[in-house]
Amino acid sequence: MLIIDVKDSESIDKALKKYKKKYEKSGVLKELRRRKQFTKPSVIRRTEVLKAEYKMQKYGTDAI
């Protein structure tokens, strides 16, 4: 549960902005999307390897 400290002088817009920022940082939505569909560990590992290869090609050896 997210708790947002709101002062009396703050507007609702500022409080909503704080809430949205805290919500994104917590990673709730990201985790929900990840859990929505099962991905085999071998597929996850393969995508990590492909990303690493792409970074090596694009940025060189000192990127990772």
Q: Provide DSSP, 19-60.
A: HHHHHHHHTHHHHHHHHHS---HHHHHHHHHHHHHHHHHHH-
pLDDT-derived band of residue 63, with 50, 70 and 90 as boundaries?
Answer: low
> What digits encode the pLDDT tens for the residues 5-32?
888 888 999 999 999 999 999 999 999 9
Higher-confidence residue of 7 and 63: namely 7
Note the pTM of the prediction, 2 decimals.
Answer: 0.52
